[in-house]
Chains A and B, each alone.
Chain A
């Protein structure tokens, strides 16, 4: 998807363990986002970044942290995974008024 890749694509983890999801872009865009998708809620913004080391919270940021040490990578960390964080996670970049999304990471917390 337009130079944006997410890894891993699928992950199963145990409650209480830390998990890190990676978003990588190849086009040097300034803004990057992490969303989660759950039935009946659409996509909800977790955190976003507007530059290296510049991040801010979205509407559902509790239990998540992010880091952006270089332009191309935006990492999402679940500090101690809970079952309520079972979801599909999408990374996105914004460019010229549009947004492009990655293919998603399906995370299951058991």
Chain B
């Protein structure tokens, strides 16, 4: 929805790092999420961060949260062709999720 915004496209070379950015407006969000969607498939939870954390690392994924600026980012290290997908940022509050429009990541050789 309009409460969560993210850029629509990102092109990255294989082996480089990808950074996907997201801004949100709801200051009472409890959790913030990153989901991945491959073509024709459902949504796969990649990672999430609790709102009182600044950073979370999980293997190649690093999530940074700037709560003051309501800015969330997802960094994918050593991007591979299998990382090509749509990535959705979502904020969770009141037992509901609000999604951004999704960032289509294209990995080129």
- Residues of chain A touching chain B, judged by Cβ–Cβ distance below 8 Å, are 1, 31, 33, 35, 40-45, 48, 50, 58-59, 90, 92, 94, 97-104
Interchain CB contact (< 8 A) of A42 among B31, B41, B92, B100 = B100
Cross-chain contact A42 with B45 (CB below 8 angstroms): no
B101 beta carbon closer than 8 Å to chain A: yes
- The A interface, classified by DSSP as helix, strand, loop or mixed, is strand
CA distance A1 to B41 in the complex (A): 11
Given contacts A1-B42, A90-B42, A94-B95, contact A43 B88 (CB under 8 A): yes
CA distance A92 to B4 in the complex (A): 19
- Across the interface, which residues of B come within 8 angstroms of A44, CB to CB? 1, 99
- Across the interface, which residues of B come within 8 angstroms of A43, CB to CB? 43, 88, 90, 97, 99
